[in-house]
Amino acid sequence: MSTDLTLHQRRRKPTPDELQGIPWLRLLRPDERAFAVAELLVGDAAPGDYVCRVGKPVTYWFGVIEGLLKMSSDNAQGMTMTFAGLPPGGWFGEGTTLKREPYRYNIQALRKSVVAGLPVDSFHWLLDHSIGFNRFVMNQLNERLGQFISAREIDRMNDPDLRVARSLAALFNPVLYPGVGDVLRITQQELAYLVGLSRQRVNEALASLEAQGMIRVEYGGLRVLVPEALRSQVFARGPQP
């Protein structure tokens, strides 16, 4: 983790290439897009940096340009519950931003990442003026609800292979994470952090999914060969007792 400047202090304007990685910008009218681009900032997060913490006031609506983040919280017993992994293209915290309430979760970088932020007042301006932006946020909220229901199910599963499969299906969600495509750049250790299993057990589960022809383990990441098969097997089996 950086000991010099905080992530907030490392803010800067996005580059043209980074703007291309923000999916909702293309849904805006020219005047709305010009407003949003002028308001957007990005920060270069080091591994371990917190993007936001439980109890802190909301200041931005955040998105991932590059890298990988983890959304989690700690319970009264000190145990960590992971809600979601956040790969490139994913924007998060729209519910918190809508209500302007303190964060109820932590967001932490698992690797070197580029994180974009739209100030909360600018977020609300777009809600008031842009139909395209409203539709994007509504789709986000709908998909996020399904994601969190799935996360609760994953946390109760005793079948490690199913936990890994369900977590991969969530990370390849084309609505929430359009920047992922067919290949997710993730290490087995990073996936282990998100799933809550050992790296060895995650490796065994990935080998099983690969043997079934659903994924291919590549250098530095995973490729989904048949997304429909991965999702259909995951949801057909359902949560384990």
176-205 pLDDT, tens per residue? 888 887 788 888 889 888 888 889 999 999
The conformational region for residue 128 under phi > 0 = left, psi -120 to 50 = alpha, else beta, is alpha
Q: In the beta sheet, which residues pair with residue 107?
A: 52, 71
142 and 174 part of one domain: no
**Residue 217 sits in a domain of what CATH number?**
1.10.10.10
Q: Identify the CATH number of the domain in which residue 74 sits.
A: 2.60.120.10
Final residue belonging to a domain, choices 150, 171, 200: 150
* Residues 94, 99, 100: CA angle, nearest 5 degrees: 90
| Residue 146 shares a structural domain with residue 185 | no
Residue 164's pLDDT band, with cuts at 50, 70 and 90, is: confident
Return the residue matching tokens 């609505």: 175
Residue 20: pLDDT over 90: yes
What is the predicted pLDDT for the residue at 239?
A: 43
Per-residue pLDDT tens over the stretch 78-87: 666 777 789 9
Report the DSSP pairing between strands 60-66 and 91-92: antiparallel
Query: Does some domain include residue 217?
Result: yes
| Domain housing 162 | 158-237
**Structure pTM?**
0.79
Residues 187 and 89 in one domain: no
